[in-house]
Structure 1
Amino acid sequence: MNTLPQILLRSFQEVPDRVAVHLLEDDADTPVSFRRLVERAAGFSLALTEAGVRPGEVVVLILQHGEALVASFFGAMMLGAIPSIMPFLTEKLSPEHYRRSLAALVEITRPAAIITYADFAGEVRSAIPPGSSVRAVLLSERIAPALSVDGGGFPGLDRSPAEICLLQHSSGTTGLQKGVALSHEAVLNQIECYARVIGMTAADTVVSWLPLYHDMGLIAGFLMPILRRAPLVLMSPFEWVRAPWKLLRAVSDHHGTLSWLPNFAYNFCATKIRDRELEGIDLSSWRAVINCSEPMRLSSHEAFLRRFNPCGLRPESLATCYAMAENVFAVSQGGIEAPVSVDRVDTRSLIVDRIARPAQEDGDALPMLSAGRPIPNSRVRILDDQRRDLPERHVGEIAIHSDCMLTGYFNRDDLTAKAFHQGWYLTGDLGYLAGGEVYITGRKKDMIIVGGKNIYPQDLEELAGQASGVHPGRVVAFGVFNDQMGTEDVVVVAEAGLADEGERRRIADDIRGRINRGSDVVLRYVKIVEPRWLLKTSSGKIARAANREKYLADDKAERQPSG
């Protein structure tokens, strides 16, 4: 079996002048050939070698979307080092919180080097604890392309397929302490299998705005097209948020065929893009727009299709996928060879009985979008709380087994041991099987997903707990799905003394400000409640799911007309 840098080098040797990636930055379209990509990657590899980095050591990349990030990622691999991309500091995120996040990553991952920009190096160095593993902070602007690449002299070309090739971290302090370690073998098994499922060839063009620190962006929107020699058009997620129409313009201009979007992006595009921004846009080449990484909603697909069908978007282009970094990317895929299945289930049966019974004609129905069938070499089971297999249509925890699973959580044997049961990875997601297809109903774990981004509630609870007047340990954070936005809103409920309304507003504003400054989360709702409002588990922990249900029940009661 090959390794990732071996495949990249083969493209350099066989099709050096073919464009590997088009980088859309500002209003410029910069084509990067395989020759340019490998020469730049080799330059980073040599710079890391000169800095004393050895094969098998971790290199953290703190760079925005662009040629330096793409090249340094492969450059670390050419050395045999393990690249890990960290989200870049945004305007919404306070530098203090960012420094804490970086310090947490350094403590657990123990990287040998960090690559960043000259004007950001001071911020990086200030976050590195004294005596840490970091021996060098390299400046991307000062690293020149290699003068020649002869195919030899790069230790990464001799790595075993079973060795770790990359780390993927989720955002948030807790996520940065949990790096998913993936081997060359696992990544290539996934790419080979998934490309076959979606019918991907070198004639396809992938258009993506997704962040490369997320599995959807890293694998589907970066590694897969480059390693399969399918043209990639890559734009910055910051640019997409500012001007979502540019994604559609890129699809139109480059005849894009494949894109992956989190569910919220369907709603975001449908509501934010104006008519005049659609002039001249042709989406007829888009053969698959794949919904992934969030709870998938039929209403989001319908809104997206209504808005962009006049531009040539076809109903059969809307597809779905169940994916996670722990399986490299895809677990299941739907909507490629046939339209996505919609299972209309009885709402009460699903919520109360945890059984997805088909709804009666006149009953209260909940439309569930199928995530498709498991991809070849990936198996799915549905387990009850005692980890026994459940029958079809019974809701339980999803467990997976495949030839592309994670090696483990990097330097976290404790988390790795908890994540597996008899060789099966326990996803923490809830769902059911029907007709051989996977349906996702929610999360056993308490993670909140906003705009395709994982948010750990304990991070927000820690920040909210620092607000003056909040009772220690009496805070809960959870997500509530917003149908209009197609993603979750973040809610924080905190206990405080029996203060007047003005004091409660002050505490709520304090919590909102701390979370907005201390994370890149925009807090939508804060509720200040009296002591003993929050529910606890039998072990004394705050019960997030139970408190979420209590909050929703109270909210519904408050909106009921009186009398």
Structure 2
Amino acid sequence: LVGCFLSLIANQISGDYLKTEDFARRPLAWLDLITRNPGTSVSFSPTFGYDICSRRISSQTAVSNRFDLSRWRLAGNGADMIRPDVMQSFVNAFTNAGFKANAFLPSYGLAEATLAVTVMPPGEGIRVELVEEERLSGAPRDLSRPARYRAIVNCGKPVKDMEVAIRGEDDKVLSDHKIGKVWCRGVSVMHSYFRDPEATDACLIDGWLDTGDMGYMAKGYLFIVGRAKDMIIINGKNHWPQDIEWAVEQLPGFNHGDIAAFSIEMENGEETPAVLVHCRVSDPDKRIELRDQIRDKVRSITGMNCVIELVPPKSLPRTSSGKLSRAKAKKLYLSGEIEPFNLAA
């Protein structure tokens, strides 16, 4: 509404719109729209939009015969965690159609800030920092194992009249490269939730908004690590659900949004990670084989056995913008509304 509708009216520029369901059926129609536009294009999508397009195009297809993306000046990316591997796949798929990697415009925002909080300066493209997993998990470094890293995407600098601070558990502002809660303050930040003073008091302090996200600052740029409420904490160690989900996605046959990871309480009262996975395999033996593959993959990330559940395709809930809703998936799973396939032991 704000970024792709009201801002067009305010700046008196034209725009094209594609329904979510139409994009899901024909994702390359998005690139057709950009190709047909005779002027400079600015277009935004979450990571999964770029992922679907690069997956859908065939390696045998001569993209330059169908698309002209040379006038795509700003390729915005936000509304979800930005995956550098997916963005690189998009570049690889559409470079011959004129797409330029420095057109990528990572950003970070939320509705409570009336959208934008940080935006990458145009032309800088996607920049990443490799961060040791121990820093992300809060666990001490295990010198007996090789170091593992995760690529964290630079989400840009605060927009005009916006302040961003990273705070620790004691609410003190942290220095560069220290991971903590992301807070923001600015003229576009909401003054309250509608008729919900309790929720307002829980996230607003002296004009500063607790975004609920975790990240760190580096030389004025913001790096987002994950959503605080989605964090899986087992035996004092933090596990980010997207790390588990992305690892499973590397197995053949899975797409973005096919996996949901969260924590559940077992009968003995202990917390353990649970992973729900869309299963398109009908053979019972193949399902067991797939479950075991996923379990091994997740164990390599978490170092522990997790609950692995294969669920029917399209059963994991999404938000109105197409993002996976882990909180709702957990609620539906615990209530029995998402029924996993029965597998032999």
Give the TM-score normalised by structure 1: 0.42
2:25 corresponds to which letter in structure 1?
R
Whole-angstrom distance in 1 between the partners of 2:29 and 2:317: 30
Q: Which residue of 1 aligns with 2:35?
A: 252
Aligned in 2, Cα 1:495/1:342: closer, same or farther, shift over 3 Å?
closer
Contact 2:84 2:126 in 1 (8 A): no
Contact 1:345 1:368 in 2 (8 A): yes
Q: Which residue of 2 aligns with 1:481?
A: 245
Contact 1:384 1:397 in 2 (8 A): yes
- 1:242 deviation in Å? 0.3
Whole-angstrom distance in 2 between the partners of 1:519 and 1:310: 33
1:12-23 map, 5 Å: none
- 1:273 deviation in Å? 2.9
- 1:248 deviation in Å? 0.3
More helix by share: 1
Aligned in 2, Cα 1:511/1:296: closer, same or farther, shift over 3 Å?
closer
Q: Which residue of 2 aligns with 1:402?
A: 186
Whole-angstrom distance in 2 between the partners of 1:435 and 1:334: 13
Q: Which residue of 1 aligns with 2:171?
A: 387
Q: Which residue of 1 aligns with 2:315?
A: 516
1:65-464 map, 5 Å: 218-255=1-38, 257-274=41-58, 276=61, 278=63, 279-352=65-138, 364-446=148-230
Aligned in 2, Cα 1:295/1:419: closer, same or farther, shift over 3 Å?
same
Q: How many residues align?
A: 266
Q: Which residue of 1 aligns with 2:296?
A: none
Aligned in 2, Cα 1:377/1:522: closer, same or farther, shift over 3 Å?
closer
Whole-angstrom distance in 1 between the partners of 2:93 and 2:7: 29
Unaligned runs of 5+ in 1: 1-217, 356-361, 449-477, 527-533, 535-563
CA-to-partner distance for each residue in 1:444-479, whole Å, 9 max, x for gaps? Answer: 12399xxxxxxxxxxxxxxxxxxxxxxxxxxxxx76
- 1:252 deviation in Å? 0.2
* 1:409 match: secondary structure: coil
Contact 1:226 1:232 in 2 (8 A): no
1:231 corresponds to which letter in structure 2?
S
Aligned in 2, Cα 1:339/1:354: closer, same or farther, shift over 3 Å?
farther
CA-to-partner distance for each residue in 1:13-61, whole Å, 9 max, x for gaps? Answer: xxxxxxxxxxxxxxxxxxxxxxxxxxxxxxxxxxxxxxxxxxxxxxxxx
Contact 2:106 2:125 in 1 (8 A): no
* 2:90 match: secondary structure: helix
Contact 1:286 1:313 in 2 (8 A): yes
Contact 1:263 1:487 in 2 (8 A): no
Aligned in 2, Cα 1:354/1:439: closer, same or farther, shift over 3 Å?
farther
- 1:276 deviation in Å? 4.9
Q: CA RMSD, aligned part only?
A: 3.7
Contact 2:121 2:157 in 1 (8 A): no
* 2:170 match: secondary structure: coil
Whole-angstrom distance in 2 between the partners of 1:354 and 1:328: 38
1:233 corresponds to which letter in structure 2?
D
2:227 corresponds to which letter in structure 1?
R
CA-to-partner distance for each residue in 1:524-551, whole Å, 9 max, x for gaps? Answer: x99xxxxxxx9xxxxxxxxxxxxxxxxx
Aligned in 2, Cα 1:370/1:251: closer, same or farther, shift over 3 Å?
same
2:118 corresponds to which letter in structure 1?
S
- 1:293 deviation in Å? 1.3
Aligned in 2, Cα 1:316/1:238: closer, same or farther, shift over 3 Å?
same
Aligned in 2, Cα 1:403/1:447: closer, same or farther, shift over 3 Å?
farther
Structure possessing the higher relative contact order (Cα contacts under 8 Å, 6 or more residues apart): 1
Contact 2:103 2:123 in 1 (8 A): no
Give the TM-score normalised by structure 2: 0.67
Contact 2:258 2:316 in 1 (8 A): no
1:484-495 map, 5 Å: 484=250, 485-486=255-256, 489-491=259-261
CA-to-partner distance for each residue in 1:211-232, whole Å, 9 max, x for gaps? Answer: xxxxxxx222221112211110
Whole-angstrom distance in 1 between the partners of 2:231 and 2:162: 24
1:329 corresponds to which letter in structure 2?
L
* 1:293 match: secondary structure: coil
CA-to-partner distance for each residue in 1:348-384, whole Å, 9 max, x for gaps? Answer: 23333699xxxxxx95433221001111111000011
- 1:512 deviation in Å? 4.8
Aligned in 2, Cα 1:447/1:292: closer, same or farther, shift over 3 Å?
farther
1:228 corresponds to which letter in structure 2?
N
* 1:394 match: secondary structure: coil
* 1:235 match: secondary structure: coil
* 1:319 match: secondary structure: strand
Q: Which residue of 1 aligns with 2:278?
A: none
- 1:266 deviation in Å? 1.7
Whole-angstrom distance in 2 between the partners of 1:354 and 1:264: 33
Whole-angstrom distance in 2 between the partners of 1:486 and 1:344: 22
Whole-angstrom distance in 1 between the partners of 2:132 and 2:96: 34
Whole-angstrom distance in 1 between the partners of 2:224 and 2:257: 15
Whole-angstrom distance in 2 between the partners of 1:322 and 1:518: 23
1:516 corresponds to which letter in structure 2?
S
Contact 2:44 2:75 in 1 (8 A): yes
Whole-angstrom distance in 2 between the partners of 1:392 and 1:421: 22
CA-to-partner distance for each residue in 1:88-136, whole Å, 9 max, x for gaps? Answer: xxxxxxxxxxxxxxxxxxxxxxxxxxxxxxxxxxxxxxxxxxxxxxxxx
Higher mean C-alpha deviation, range 255-264 or range 419-428: 255-264
* 2:67 match: secondary structure: coil
- 1:236 deviation in Å? 0.7
- 1:494 deviation in Å? 7.7
